[in-house]
């Protein structure tokens, strides 16, 4: 990715899931490219018969109950349509694309739909912006980026919710841009 291809205002995405097992399913998804304009949805799993894997340990971490999903979650088919309409042709950046992409694919597969967007690596994007003269691998952290990620996490107070993670990535992106402008 050349510097010309680094988006000025990337779209960040995050998911929360029923567990971390191979049979887990997405229970919440959020995305956004600006603070204050983050879309976030709980997902009602009741119509997807394969979605039965549930971890009490994961529930303790994210704080979302099955009851809350049944009462407040949106229809997964509607969510796929909403995501495709609003995100078509875009690259969405996740700080853990290995998991988030798996859960997004599980959502779209369960609903018999195809994604009209792709998922990229937010950390790699930030490394690329901060290390403009080198090609860095996604698992290579330079110290300034690590400091930004850790400081921002402490400033915001850690929550395990999708919208919080998107907000965290947006704050990190602002700080990375400020650091590269100096």
What are the tens digits of pLDDT across the range 162-178? 999 999 999 999 999 88
How far is Cα 68 from Cα 46, in angstroms, rounded to an integer? 12
Q: Is the pLDDT of residue 150 over 70?
A: yes
Q: Which domain holds residue 75?
A: 3-181
Structural domains counted in the chain: 1
- Alpha-carbon distance of 137 to 64, in angstroms, equals 34
pLDDT digits (tens, 9 = 90+) for 100-146: 999 999 999 999 999 999 999 999 999 888 875 445 454 445 678 88
pLDDT greater than 90 at residue 182: no
Which CA distances in Å does 6 have to 138, 177, 181?
15, 11, 15
pLDDT at 142: 63
- The confidence score (pLDDT) of residue 98 equals 96
CATH of the domain at 94: 3.30.420.10
pTM of the model: 0.90
Inter-residue contact 116 to 89 (CB < 8 Å): yes
CA distances from 99 to 1, 47, 84 (A): 22, 23, 19
Rounded CA separation 162/168 (Å): 10
Helix or strand (DSSP H, E) at 16: strand 11-17
């Amino acid at each position: 990715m050349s510097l010309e291809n680094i988006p000025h205002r990337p779209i960040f995405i995050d998911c929360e899931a029923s567990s971390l097992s191979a049979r887990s399913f997405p229970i919440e998804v959020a995305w956004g490219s600006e603070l204050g304009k983050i879309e976030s949805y709980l997902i009602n799993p009741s119509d997807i018969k394969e979605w039965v894997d549930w971890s009490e340990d994961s529930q303790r971490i994210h704080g979302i109950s099955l009851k809350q999903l049944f009462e407040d979650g949106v229809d997964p088919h509607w969510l796929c349509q909403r995501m495709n309409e609003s995100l078509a042709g875009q690259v969405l950046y996740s700080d853990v694309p290995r998991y988030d992409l798996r859960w997004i694919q599980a959502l779209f597969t369960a609903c018999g739909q195809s994604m009209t967007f792709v998922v990229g690596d937010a950390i790699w994007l930030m490394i690329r912006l901060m290390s403009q003269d080198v090609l860095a691998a996604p698992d290579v952290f330079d110290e300034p980026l690590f400091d930004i990620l850790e400081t921002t996490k402490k400033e915001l107070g850690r929550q395990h919710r999708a919208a919080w993670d998107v907000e965290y990535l947006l704050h990190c992106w602002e700080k990375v841009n400020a650091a590269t402008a100096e």
